[in-house]
Amino acid sequence: MDMLSALQALGVTPNLISDEEKQQLATEGFLVIPNLFDQSTVERLIARMEALWEEEGERAGLEVHQQPGTRRLADLVNKGMVFTPVWLNPRVLAAAWFLIGQPFKLFSLNARDALPGQGEQALHADWGPRTENEPCRIVNSLWMLDEFSPTTGSTRIVPGSQRLPGTPSDHLEDIDAPHPTQRLALGKPGTVMIYNAHAWHGGTRNFSQNHRRALHCAYVDRRFPQQTDQRQYLREDTRTQLTTAARFLLDVD
């Protein structure tokens, strides 16, 4: 199978992302889509994630990394078919295809919950130092499962920073400080922010007393390694439930 046939089989067409949305992705580096998934999906995803946090305890997130001030989960591809519509969402795949412009695959599917009073991160990209004019290698999508407001630990992102070479530290004195042009990804549960993950971004502090749970679903140019190597991690019971196109997206056959 090739990329175009896989995308076609998964219901992806270029017009799932409008010209205006493409323009925003190209210039600002991110796009916020409200109501991409409904309340019952939010509830089913949260129920499974909470069960996994309970079950995995101190090991939760270890396949990728743990982070003080947060609860994390990793390799969600193999932890419930409830997550399959997330990593196979046609609109997000259309945006990834538009931005990467090369055959791509799933990079990782993780969860992150910024705990009350914690969760702030330095500005960073989800890639190493960007070389001059390097094309987009990686696209991330952030699935909001709790409300993202200015006080609940929303993600900040610096529009246009996806075009800058190097790392945020090459340009900024203090990568922890608020950036003058940063924007907050805001939305109700069911909202998704898709972003060129070379753009500088980071979690902010959750000033509320509530959870701030999100899924991070990222895609990478096929020529680069996955964060979670599905040739190593794919479980047989997951494999048997996936179509050829879905397996192509995991790069497992």
Ligand X SMILES: O=C(O)CCC(=O)C(=O)O
Q: Which of 7, 95, 138, 214 binds ligand X (CB under 6 A)?
A: 214
| Cα–Cα nearest to 15, from 86, 90, 104 | 90
Where does this chain touch ligand X (CB under 6 A) — which range of 38-46, 85-93, 127-135, 198-206?
Answer: 198-206
216 sits in which H/E element: strand 213-221
Q: Which two tokens stand for residue 128?
A: 């190493």
Q: Using CB under 6 A, which of 78, 89, 155, 227 touches ligand X?
A: 155
Told to check if 71 binds ligand X by CB under 6 A, we report no
Q: What is the DSSP string of 85-150?
A: HHHT-HHHHHHHHHHH-S-EEEEEEEEEEEPTT------B-SSSPBPTTPPP-EEEEEEESS-B-T
Binding mask 101-130 for ligand X (x = CB under 6 A): -----------x--------x---------
Q: Is 220 helix (H, G, I), strand (E, B) or coil?
A: strand
- Scan residues 6-65 and list those touching ligand X (CB under 6 A): none
The count of other CB atoms within 10 Å of the CB of residue 220 is 25
Residue (78 or 155) nearer to ligand X, CB: 155
From residue 244, how far is each of 2, 235, 253 by CA, in Å? 11, 15, 8
48, 198, 201, 213: which one binds ligand X (CB under 6 A): 201
Establish if 162 lies at the interface with ligand X (CB under 6 A).
no
When the beta carbons of 103 and 159 are compared against ligand X, the nearer one is: 159
Stretch near ligand X under the rule CB under 6 A, chosen from 22-30, 48-56, 199-207, 227-235: 199-207
Taking alpha carbons only, the member of 186, 187, 191, 140 closest to residue 162 is 140
How many amino acids of this chain bind ligand X (CB under 6 A)?
7
Residue of the chain from 143, 202, 205, 221 that contacts ligand X (CB under 6 A):
202
Q: By the 8 A CB rule, do 205 and 114 touch?
A: yes
Is the CB of 137 or the CB of 201 nearer to ligand X? 201
Q: Is 206 a binder of ligand X (CB under 6 A)? A: no
For 15, other C-beta atoms within 10 Å of its C-beta total 7
For ligand X, give the closer residue by CB, 168 or 203: 203
Residue nearest to ligand X (CB): 203
| CA–CA separation, 191 and 108 (whole Å) | 19
Where does this chain bind ligand X (CB under 6 A)? Answer: 112, 121, 155, 201-203, 214
